[in-house]
Amino acid sequence: MRKLRVKIFLYGASEVIRYAVCRKKRRRIFAAMEFKMNINEIKDQICDICHKMWQLGWVAANDGNVSVRLDDGTFLATPTGVSKSFITPDILVRINDKGEVLEAAEGRRPSSEIKMHLKCYSERPDVGAVLHAHPPTATGYAVANKALDEYTMIESVIAIGSVPVTPYGTPSTDEVPEAIAPYLQEHDVMLLQNHGALTVGADLITAYYRMETLELFAKISLTAHLLGGAQEISRENIDRLCNMRAQYGVTGKHPGYKKYNK
């Protein structure tokens, strides 16, 4: 207060008010610039992840979609009908929480699976990114309608736990978000029956790592089964591994010890 009085004495009240208004405006301009820079970085990151998904053979043709929640509550999403190898920052679409387009290059519409993505965000305020792909081994389990629910490999026990197969849903319809909703409170990783895989994360890299972990675990599980069957970790050690998530700073949800296959 004393400082303010000194300033008014030295420069006059109108000058002090003008300066304060300018400072507020400057702060707003800097915040907008920072948001813009942030969006550009996120756009680059989405493109990197899309290219990786294609290089890894997790998607063919226009398969797969990616979205990210932005600080202002809007979302960036991949456009529908584009190979993930051809995604560039300028064709990403910005939408609101109803899926309405806020910004898009001419002729671009958000992914046809955007309802599934928005369901993840509305059910899980902790989720900042959603990834959908068809990694072939994990999708093999989705097609065979077999959950990946064996607690056999240390890393996957800690990172994702069991992975359920969510009920069949016709792509792009409300059936898909309805099918995944009951699983979202316990799982960050899901198989979509006869379709593919879905991962969520606090950020895009986390969601991407979960897809990597899922596909590697699916390959290892399949190999173990070809060798005569996987050996489960003891229940006591499974619980110890699950409790290590806090120590490693793992974010998101974990189902604990949960079996889905009959």
When the beta carbons of 12 and 81 are compared against ligand 13P, the nearer one is: 81
Pairing of strands 101-103, 93-95: antiparallel
Helix (H) or strand (E) holding 165: strand 165-166
Indicate if the alpha-carbon torsion angle 80, 82, 86, 91 is positive or negative: negative
For residue 222, is it left (φ>0), alpha (ψ between -120 and 50) or beta? alpha
Classified as helix, coil or strand, 221 is helix
User: How far apart are the C-alpha atoms of 189 and 198, rounded to whole Å?
Assistant: 6
Residues across the chain:
262
Out of 50, 113, 169, 242, the only residue in the binding site for ligand 13P (CB under 6 A) is 113
- Residues touching ligand 13P, count (CB under 6 A): 12
Tokens 């942030």 locate to: 38
Site for ligand 13P in 83-112 (CB under 6 A): 111-112
Tokens 């065979």 locate to: 144
When the beta carbons of 65 and 221 are compared against ligand 13P, the nearer one is: 65
Out of 12, 81, 229, 256, the only residue in the binding site for ligand 13P (CB under 6 A) is 81
When the beta carbons of 62 and 74 are compared against ligand 13P, the nearer one is: 62
Binding track over 47-76 against ligand 13P, x by CB under 6 A: ---------------xxxx-----------
Binding track over 166-205 against ligand 13P, x by CB under 6 A: -----x----------------------------------
**What's the half-sphere exposure (Cβ side, CA atoms, 13 Å) at 213?**
25
Site for ligand 13P in 133-172 (CB under 6 A): 171
When the beta carbons of 81 and 256 are compared against ligand 13P, the nearer one is: 81
Note whether 80 binds ligand 13P by CB under 6 A. Answer: yes
Residues found near ligand 13P in the complex (CB under 6 A): 62-65, 78, 80-81, 111-113, 132, 171
